[in-house]
Structure 1
């Protein structure tokens, strides 16, 4: 199942619907304002919260957490010591790890578990510059979690890219 994401929607305070490939509303993103740290809430079409995304206030490396029902589901951060290209990792509460690799700024990357692709994030399906798709490839995958991971990687990679340009 493919989900359509608009890039500029993830500013804090912005609210937006993520649509499925049929153009139907699938997830609602609620950017929370007046919070001490960046917070985004992802809800399903019925209003049930499927993920709450926070940027960690204090950490050696930029880290974002995804919570569900008040419990940390996943921590997303850049993987250390990667050669040639950027790789992010999503450490699940169970201790398992997903890898995110590819062209992060250009929005052409994969989310993998143990070498198997769970989702493909791609801009190539769109002529609109500000849109990209998250194609959840496995039926048993959790689309809400994969969308939340993609949102985290998007924000972290963009922040790092801005810091390098500012130097």
Structure 2
């Protein structure tokens, strides 16, 4: 299980992804947030192991995850999902994943072919403004953590746009 702090992008600071014992597993560099919404993930020794950035030109929110310099996946919002947001984690080959559930409140699962491979929940923790990511054995943790962070970026960006629109209408 991994522990991630909620709403880190609004501040843009660095933070650590912890294991269930409170040990640092990854460090996320939020200071590199730019117009492309680029985030760098480092291992505990400070080596870059993954990056995530937003595609500037796309019909829907799309984020690319690179692990070890190689493109690992694109995370994008599904176009037609009435009543609920759904995001796809498009990996090379046929094994795409889908994020579904209550994405805004960090209560959702990630599935591959209808099988749950990860779950995200705030209910498992008593620490305020954090959520847990439980990943099944055999699933690349950086792919799942990158996808969860991409979703957070997309939702934060959508919320900022909505707030700006609401202010402009007043």
TM over 0.5: yes
Bigger CA drift: 125-134 or 143-152?
125-134
Change (3 A) 1:35 1:78: closer
> Helix, strand or coil: the match of 2:8?
helix
Superposed CA deviations along residues 16-75 of structure 1, whole A, max 9, x for unmatched, are 111100111111111243755211111221333221010111111111110123322111
After the TM superposition, which parts of structure 1 deviate over 6 Å for at least 4 consecutive aligned residues? none
Distance 2:129 2:5 in 1: 6
Is 1:145 aligned to 2:163, yes or no? no
Q: What are the residue-to-residue correspondences of 1:17-166 with 2, within 5 Å?
A: 17-33=16-32, 35-136=34-135, 138-164=136-162, 166=165
For the residue of structure 1 that corresponds to 2:16, the secondary structure is: strand
Deviation at 1:127, TM superposition (A): 2.9
Q: Post-superposition shift, 1:164?
A: 4.0
1:66-92 C-alpha deviation (Å, 9 max, x unpaired): 012332211111112123321110101
- My pick for the range that moved more, 91-100 or 4-13, is 4-13
Partner of 1:9: 8
Question: 1 CA distance for matches of 2:19 and 2:125?
Answer: 14
Q: Deviations over 1:96-150 (max 9, x none)?
A: 31000000111100111001111100000223331000111x2111111101100
The runs of 5 or more residues in structure 1 that have no matched partner are none
Aligned-residue RMSD, C-alpha: 2.0
Please tell me whether the aligned partners of residues 37 and 54 of structure 2 are also in contact (alpha carbons under 8 angstroms): yes
Distance change >3 Å, CA 28–CA 16, structure 1 → 2? same
Deviates more, 1:4-13 or 1:94-103: 4-13
Question: Distance between the aligned counterparts of 2:3 and 2:63, measured in 1?
Answer: 22
Write 1 or 2 for the structure with the bigger share of strand: 1
Partner secondary structure for residue 76 of structure 2? strand
Structure 2 length-normalised TM: 0.87
Moved more, 10-19 or 118-127: 10-19
